[in-house]
Amino acid sequence: MSWWTCLVLKSLLAATCMVAVQSQTQPQLVFHFVANTTSKTKLPDSRDIHLQAHLESLLYGLMCKSPGNKFIVRVSPGSGTTEVVDEIIGLHNTSDNVKNCLFPGLNPIKCDEENFCALGNKCTATVMAVCQRHGTMSRWLMTQVVDVTIDQVDGAIVLVRCLTKCSALQIKKDDKKKQRVDSALTKALKNITRCLILAVRKLFMVSCLFCFCYQPFSAFP
């Protein structure tokens, strides 16, 4: 083996060791997607997406070296990829067909150490999977993107916003379901209105009959 080959191998080994040390010392973040199901017979449908190593370095720099910055991660549960997006192109509450994916009343991010910046810290962000299955396509394939906004408060990392955009098939499915619900409500209201009209008519007829029967008897002393 030549000296040049040995030098290249040593350099590659050193670089690999540096990457391994960095991945072990920097805080790690995992997005834990859980379906909001109430069924007692089915196991929870979940999926874990790890924040990529270079984004963990960026997150560490923004949250620990320059506090006060917000960090928006765009997650694609179907492909398992993550990227950073600017707030301008991120999802908003006013965007069409965008759903909230925060669990109500739940602390979404839990870490081994309270201080996120602690070396070797491991954190898990629990996110609600709001898109539904469609035919043979899983809920993850039906999920286009998920934008998660992360901030830091008093050294602790917090999830301040989570928005999900489902595929067009899911949107059509939800629209059809809404139309069925609206149709059922309209039909129920019509039936209630019809019953009320009949009840009022019967009450009016009883009142007239009472007045007609009562007047002749009241004429006698």
Under a CB-based contact definition with an 8 Å cutoff, are residues 145 and 51 in contact?
Answer: no
pLDDT: is 200 or 116 the higher one? Answer: 116
Residue 218: pLDDT band by 50, 70, 90 thresholds? very low
pLDDT at 221 over 50: no
pLDDT at 165 over 90: yes
Whole-number Å distance between alpha carbons of 215 and 15:
108
**Count of beta carbons in the 10 Å neighbourhood of residue 166:** 21
Grade residue 219 by pLDDT with cuts at 50, 70 and 90: very low
* Res. 28: pLDDT tops 80: yes
% of residues, the chain, pLDDT over 90:
25
User: What's the rounded mean pLDDT across residues 133-139?
Assistant: 85
pLDDT digits (tens, 9 = 90+) for 47-99: 999 999 889 888 888 888 876 778 899 999 989 999 999 888 889 887 777 89
Backbone angles phi, psi at 205, to 5 degrees: -65, -40
- For the ranges 27-41, 63-77, 134-148, which has the lowest average pLDDT? 27-41
pLDDT of residue 48: 94
25 vs 124, more confident: 124
Q: How confident is the model at residue 137 (pLDDT cuts 50, 70, 90)?
A: confident
Which of 25-29, 147-151, 195-199 has maximum average pLDDT? Answer: 147-151
How do residues 187-209 score in pLDDT, each as one tens digit?
667 777 777 777 767 776 666 66
Task: Indicate the residue type of 70.
Answer: K
Query: For position 13, what pLDDT does the model report?
Result: 46
